[in-house]
Amino acid sequence: MIDVEAVLAPDGLLSQALPGFSWRRQQQEMAEAVASCIELGGRLIAEAGTGTGKTFAYLVPALLSGAKVIISTGTKNLQDQLFIKDLPLLREAMASPASVALLKGRANYLCLHRMENALQDTRGQRREVARHLRQVQNWSFSTRSGDIAELSNLPEDSQVWPLITSTGDNCLGSECPSFSKCHLVEARKRAQEADIVVINHHLLCADFSIKDEGFGELLPSADAYIIDEAHQLPDVASSFFGISVGTRQFLDLARDSRVEYVREAGDLPRILEQIDHLEKAARDFRLAFGNDGQRGAWEEVADNADVLNALDYLRKELEGLHGLLKSIEGRGKGLDSCMSRALVLMGELAQIISPENADEQVRWFEVHSQSVRLHSTPLDVAGLFQGQMDCHPAAWIFTSATLAVGESFTHFQQQLGLTKAETACWGSPFDYQEQALWFVPKGLPQPSAPEYTEKVMELALPLLEASGGRAFLLFTSYRALNLAADWLQDRLDYPLLVQGSAPKAELLRRFTVQGNAVLLGTSSFWEGVDVRGDALSLVIIDKLPFASPGDPVLKARLDAMRKAGGNPFMEYQVPQAAIALKQGAGRLIRDVTDKGVLVLCDPRMLRKGYGHTFLDAMPPFARTRELSDALEFLRSI
């Protein structure tokens, strides 16, 4: 029997071994539920409010169990925190013999073969890319893990990354000349041998969808799977159980084919001509879609002659390259790999354009500045996910601070087919009535009004002055964020940090260091952001975070629910938005000493019939509708 009480009780091991550790009833109860699930092989959905200590609540029973446990997180930040900080701390305090491994997706590891190819083929490389490539080469001599996170001095948007990492498409697997030195192979070997493996949801779903062939199963078989930040899993699963093809894949194939041709053939110039044709076809296909930033259903362009002609041209040139590579099959492993990739792309493109089960798929496109991607996404992943769980018989634990809407887990359960799982909820130990004030203003116009964002900023200004900066302003759209940033630019006496002006981690570092900054962010700042202490005392949310009704996948799912006789707004959109709002509100109070004001500007909260769903979902903050109360609270902090 797993004895978590001996570790987490008021007089337990951690209270003696860890300075500052404090007993929390909720943490111990959750740990006991997790331990029971691991022992009995059940399915548990556990919501644990902020401050519960849920990380230790599942790590302690995992370390005590002696079982093979895979822990999946929603973000790389939490993945690194578990592996670098939390697990070593607990293993030492508990004198645990359990071995631990960190495993990321292949795009996080240096591919020696592709780096060497990039160093050989420097045509068309910008000077900055060549400089970054030399930095990578120098680092490659010293790194042991090959984890590109070690290259923190290279910008996140550097064009060198796709040149020095592999994808499931272009990896040569065991045929690679650098296979014996492959960092990814080594990382997977460590994961196979470890007792506890820390991964993320993308890797979990990649393993489930068997898209990473050439290495066998990515993940070792486990006795238990613990899914943290589980509210993110349905969206990740949707993308991985579908098919996605982008013009960048065609351009990568062309570039790799050219490198391998020079290396392994060189006597059939028609192949080089065909590679040029394929590159032109891929670029023409992107141009046929016009301006970037578009997302839409395939039906929106299905009658567009420019798009269809460009698609036919792309398919013809892809087939032409495959045919030429087929004619010299066996000339070299690199060329054979490119031939196989061309065949796979041909099949995936055909599946998206003419799917066998069209009624169960959403076909859509998205346009970026340099590329376009076509997708076929399943309408419902519940059955697919349950099928994968059945193939991996083990204990399954799903946890997050935001899984329930009110006291109901129905929305989350239906998304993943977890209708028979046990559910439990542990509230936060924080004294929200004393620590936080929730202010819903009077007199604001409807969010659809053209002057809405300006009116929100007029309301925000005195609050920002009362708080001395120290604020997050969270928006549901980039348009509103940019309008707010322009409006505040010359009116604010505090540092203004705007999403997109620097990497997210850098903006958060500046926010914390400066101590009086105002940070404007959209969806990526609504969750996974942990600012404790005096740097953050005010969170302003402009609107209820309903997903865009124009999103093609959401629209198709809502239509399907409507046809089945359901109420998609109340059964899907409102619960989804309520969970997102809980995440945004959760940025404010992160510790027992934090105090602050949450402002939700959207008047629909109190005027619409569905408002009670949002009210029931929120933490039990003290509430007011008076600006004077909010200003007084802020000035008292």
The tokens for 67 are 């079982």
Cα separation, 353 vs 360, whole angstroms: 14
Confidence of residue 304 (pLDDT cuts 50, 70, 90): very high
DSSP state of 169: T
> What is the pLDDT, as a whole number, of residue 77?
80
Residue range 505-564, pLDDT digits in tens = 889 999 999 999 999 999 889 988 889 999 999 999 999 999 988 889 999 999 999 998
**Chain position carrying tokens 């994961």:** 191
Angle, CA of 263, 267 and 271, to the nearest 5°: 80
DSSP state of 25: H
Residue 102 has pLDDT above 50, yes or no: yes
Of 196, 203, 213, which Cα lies nearest the Cα of 233? 203
Residue 100 has pLDDT above 70, yes or no: yes
Q: How would you list the strands of the sheet with 243-246, edge to edge?
A: 243-246, 372-378, 361-367, 295-297
Instruction: Outline where DSSP puts E strands in 201-271.
Output: 224-227, 243-246
The domains located in the chain, with CATH, are 5-99+194-240+381-426 (3.40.50.300), 106-184 (no CATH), 243-378 (1.20.1440), 432-636 (3.40.50.300)
Residue 210 has pLDDT above 70, yes or no: no
**Chain position carrying tokens 């349905």:** 234
DSSP secondary structure letters along 383-424? HHHHHHHHHS-SEEEEEES---BTTB-HHHHHHHT-TTSEEE
Cα separation, 268 vs 65, whole angstroms: 61
154 versus 365: the higher-pLDDT residue is 365
Residue 108 has pLDDT above 60, yes or no: yes
Q: Is 557 exposed, middle or buried (0-12, 13-18, 19+ CB in 10 A)?
A: buried
Task: State pTM to two decimals.
Answer: 0.89
* Pair 35, 65: CB distance under 8 Å: yes
Confidence of residue 376 (pLDDT cuts 50, 70, 90): very high
398 versus 125: the higher-pLDDT residue is 398
DSSP state of 302: T
DSSP secondary structure letters along 482-532? HHHHHHHTTT-SS-EEETTSS-HHHHHHHHHHHSS-EEEE-GGGSSS----
DSSP state of 147: B
Cα separation, 329 vs 262, whole angstroms: 15
| Overall average pLDDT of the 439-460 stretch | 96
Angle, CA of 533, 540 and 603, to the nearest 5°: 145
> What is the pLDDT, as a whole number, of residue 213?
45
Percentage of residues of the chain with pLDDT beyond 70: 98
Q: Which amino acid is at 400?
A: S
Cα separation, 259 vs 335, whole angstroms: 9
Name every residue whose Cβ is closer than 8 Å to that of residue 508 and which is 6 or more positions away in sequence.
519, 529, 531
Residue range 171-209, pLDDT digits in tens = 888 889 899 999 999 999 999 999 999 999 999 988 776
| Overall average pLDDT of the 493-501 stretch | 93
Angle, CA of 74, 429 and 405, to the nearest 5°: 55
Confidence of residue 489 (pLDDT cuts 50, 70, 90): very high
Computed over every residue of the chain, the mean pLDDT equals 92
Name every residue whose Cβ is closer than 8 Å to that of residue 189 and which is 6 or more positions away in sequence.
none
Residue range 316-348, pLDDT digits in tens = 999 999 999 999 999 888 899 999 999 999 999
Name every residue whose Cβ is closer than 8 Å to that of residue 70 and which is 6 or more positions away in sequence.
196, 197, 199, 204, 219, 220, 222, 224, 225, 226
Cα separation, 237 vs 387, whole angstroms: 13
Residue 212 has pLDDT above 60, yes or no: no
3-state secondary structure (DSSP) of residue 618 = coil
* Pair 277, 250: CB distance under 8 Å: no
* Pair 218, 212: CB distance under 8 Å: yes
Residue 432 has pLDDT above 90, yes or no: yes
> What is the pLDDT, as a whole number, of residue 121?
76
3-state secondary structure (DSSP) of residue 578 = helix
Residue 23 has pLDDT above 50, yes or no: yes
445 versus 267: the higher-pLDDT residue is 445
The tokens for 374 are 């076509």
Residue range 56-87, pLDDT digits in tens = 999 999 999 999 999 999 988 889 899 999 99
The tokens for 139 are 């680092």
DSSP state of 232: G
Residue range 401-410, pLDDT digits in tens = 999 998 899 9
Other beta carbons within 10 Å of 144 = 8
Residue 1 has pLDDT above 80, yes or no: no
Confidence of residue 157 (pLDDT cuts 50, 70, 90): confident
Dihedral (Cα; 57, 60, 64, 65), 10-degree rounding:
40
| Overall average pLDDT of the 94-108 stretch | 93
* Pair 37, 397: CB distance under 8 Å: yes
> What is the pLDDT, as a whole number, of residue 439?
98
Q: At what angle do helices 247-264 and 333-353 cross, to 10 degrees?
A: 160
Question: Worst-scoring range by mean pLDDT, 42-46, 384-388, 465-469?
Answer: 384-388
Residue 99 has pLDDT above 90, yes or no: yes
Angle, CA of 293, 202 and 53, to the nearest 5°: 110
Q: Is 274 exposed, middle or buried (0-12, 13-18, 19+ CB in 10 A)?
A: buried
Residue 165 has pLDDT above 70, yes or no: yes
